[in-house]
């Protein structure tokens, strides 16, 4: 098991040098963690040699693990501090979750599909990540028991920003979320400061659908 985790060191460095730095990922802590976390263990063995390519890959249940650059871009936009508690909606295979967990105090992650939730938990165990709390649920309503969250990240795209998530964002706090139609979305940074909400569009993106009571209906 250990040997498998250690594989692809060169591919990981190349990913950072060729895909992240040239496109403007400048936060050294984000670059360091992306160069460390073994992305290949999050996907099926047959796809492992492609794990560090410049594209999204299928996981299961028709979902995808985001392109490395998008993971880095969203993480950088969150401006994480060591004492942040982060709510993540859309655990998927858990790759983004682990990247976050390395940079903050605690990650609360919600996934609506049980097979992916189970897969992600196995990955957290393999890597010995103990600051991740997870559940199967509709994440568009947030996670009321643990609010407020100093950071929120949504890794699936809905038609609008769920009100529950804005309500559960701490002040000050930052949320990063793709919003738009089914095919193309704006990646939006939502900053809450002194009771005010400011939205900034970061980039055009293409995510799988956020399905739930404050997302798409199916
Ligand atoms: N960050 C993930 C991306 C997975 S794709 C990764 O790195 O693998 C987005 C995920 O969001 C899918 O697994 C999908 O099932 C999940 N999702 C969609 N709508 C959701 C909702 N309302 N609540 C929780 N998860 C949701």
Nearest Cα residue to atom 2 of ligand 1 = 92
* 66 in catalytic set: yes
Distance CA 42, CA 165 (A): 27
Quote the CA–CA distance of 155 and 157 in Å, as a whole number.
Answer: 7
Exactly one of 11, 66, 213, 217 is catalytic; which is it? 66
Alpha helices in the chain (DSSP H): 2-6, 9-15, 28-36, 68-77, 95-101, 114-127, 163-168
Predicted confidence at residue 180, as pLDDT, reads 98
Ligand 1 pocket test: which of 91, 132, 178, 179 has the largest number of ligand atoms within 8 Å of its C-beta? 91
Cα–Cα distance for residue pair 49/62, rounded to 1 Å: 20
Whole-number pLDDT of residue 1 = 56
The CA distance from 60 to 92, in Å, is 9
How far, in Å, CA of 134 to CA of 188, rounded?
24
Q: What is the distance between the alpha carbons of residues 77 and 202, in angstroms, rounded to a whole number? A: 8
Question: How is domain 2-205 classified at the architecture level of CATH?
Answer: 3-Layer(aba) Sandwich (3.40)
Residue of 113, 153, 156, 179 to test ligand 1 pocket, by largest number of atoms within 8 Å of CB = 156
CA of 186 to the centre of ligand 1 (A): 17
Return d(Cα 30, Cα 179) in angstroms, integer.
24
Residue ranges per structural domain of the chain? 2-205
- Kindly give the confidence (pLDDT) of every residue in the chain, 218 residues in length, as a single tens digit, with 9 standing for 90 and above: 567 888 999 999 999 999 999 999 999 999 999 999 999 999 999 999 999 999 999 999 999 999 999 999 999 999 999 999 999 999 999 999 999 999 999 999 999 999 999 999 999 999 999 999 999 999 999 999 999 999 999 999 999 999 999 999 999 999 999 999 999 999 999 999 999 999 999 999 999 999 999 999 98
């Amino acid at each position: 098991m250990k040997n498998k985790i250690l594989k692809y060191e060169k591919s990981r460095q190349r990913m950072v040098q060729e895909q992240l730095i040239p496109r403007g990922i400048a936060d050294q802590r984000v670059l360091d963690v992306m160069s460390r976390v073994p992305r290949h263990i999050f996907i099926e063995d047959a796809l492992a040699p492609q794990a560090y390519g410049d594209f999204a890959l299928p996981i299961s249940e028709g979902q995808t693990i985001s392109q490395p650059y998008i993971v880095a871009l969203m993480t950088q936009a969150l401006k994480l501090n060591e004492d942040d508690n982060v709510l993540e909606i859309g655990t998927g295979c858990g790759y983004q979750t682990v990247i976050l967990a390395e940079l903050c105090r605690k990650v609360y992650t919600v996934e609506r599909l049980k097979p992916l939730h189970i897969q992600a938990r196995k990955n957290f165990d393999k890597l010995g990540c103990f600051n991740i709390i997870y559940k199967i649920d509709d994440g568009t309503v947030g996670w009321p028991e643990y609010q407020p969250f100093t950071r929120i990240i949504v890794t699936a795209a809905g038609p609008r920003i769920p009100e529950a998530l804005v309500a559960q964002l701490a002040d000050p706090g930052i949320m990063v979320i793709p919003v738009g139609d089914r095919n193309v979305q704006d990646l939006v940074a939502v900053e809450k400061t002194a009771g005010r909400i400011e939205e900034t569009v970061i980039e055009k993106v293409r995510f799988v659908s956020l399905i739930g009571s404050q997302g798409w209906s199916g």
